[in-house]
Structures are given as structure tokens and as C-alpha cells.
Amino acid sequence: MSVHSNLAPVLRDPRDTAFMTSYLDSLTLVERLHRLLLDVIKDEFERVGVIEINAVQALLLFNVGENEVTAGELKSRGYYQGSNVSYNLKKLVEAGYMHHKRCQIDRRSVRVRLTDKGRRIRDIVDKLFSSHAAGMLSRGVLDQSGIDDITMSLRRIERYWTDQIRYIY
């Protein structure tokens, strides 16, 4: 029996109950996949001998890429929560993975970009993800259509949740 099985009886129509159960299972899976992704990145970093930063910070470097961004931009893009991104950006600047400078327009804002050291970390994550993509294709885990379906479904959920935040409250 599932952890959330006691929630489904609130719905009256059996089809709604089945949908609710599947929806809650998918939410659990999304959470678990995110934690697993961080574990996969951590394991790769241990394998290549990078121990100075954690998986969240490595993923942040990957997401920044070649851009110059503020913490607010990363937060508004939905990558991170505010205090989490500020803390990790500070640590990455202190460790030499990112450059930072005050924004010319808004002096309160700090813009960050990767250093060469940060780009090396981003490249490790990029190679890891490329290897995963090739492995999934070659082993038949997913094909182009399958990954497109997953992405489209997740984008629809993202849009629904975004609309809930913007227009319901």
C-alpha cells in the first residue's frame, strides 16, 4: 500500500481516485529522481576526484553555463530557492568557481559567471549527461519520442502549477 493511499478516498469518482493515486506516485517519483540525480553527480565527482563542491553546486554551475546571471535570475527561472542559490553562489565565488561583480544598473545586485575552474566542473557534468543520453538511447531506455513525451508532460504540469501560483491566490 502506498504512503498516500489514505488521500485518494476524498475523491468520489473511482476514475478521479485512480488519477489522484497516479498523480501522487508521479510527484514522489519526481522528488526521488531529483535526489537520485544529485547522487549520480556526487558519485561522478568522487570518481574523478572532485571533492571541493557538492552536487547542487555542480548543477548550479552547469545551469549557469556561459551566461552572466544574478541570483534572482536563477531563482526566477525556477532552478533554485532564494536562500539556497545565494548561499551556493557565495561558496562558489569563494572557492574560485565563479567571478562576481556589482551590476552597473542596480548596485545592490551582483552578477556572476563561471571562471575556468567553474567551466571545468560544468564540462564534467555535461559529459556525464551526454553519456547518460547516449546510454539511454543505445539500451532502449528511451527514444526521441519517449523523451519528448516526458518533457511535454512535465512542461504541462509546470504550466499548471505556475498558473495556480499566479492566478488562483
Which domains are seen in the chain, by residue range?
14-164 (1.10.10.10)
Q: How far apart are CA 115 and CA 124, in angstroms?
A: 14
For residue 168, the model assigns a pLDDT of 66
For residue 16, the model assigns a pLDDT of 83
Whether 25 and 2 have beta carbons less than 8 Å apart is answered as yes
For residue 19, give the C-alpha cell: 488519477
Whether 113 and 74 have beta carbons less than 8 Å apart is answered as no
For residue 4, the model assigns a pLDDT of 57
Q: How far apart are CA 75 and CA 83, in angstroms?
A: 9
For residue 115, the model assigns a pLDDT of 97
- Specify the pTM: 0.83
Q: Which residues, at least 6 apart from 91, have a Cβ–Cβ distance to it below 8 Å?
A: 53, 57
| pLDDT < 50 regions, the chain | 1, 8
For residue 80, give the C-alpha cell: 533554485
Whether 8 and 27 have beta carbons less than 8 Å apart is answered as no
Q: Which residues, at least 6 apart from 160, have a Cβ–Cβ distance to it below 8 Å?
A: none
For residue 1, the model assigns a pLDDT of 41
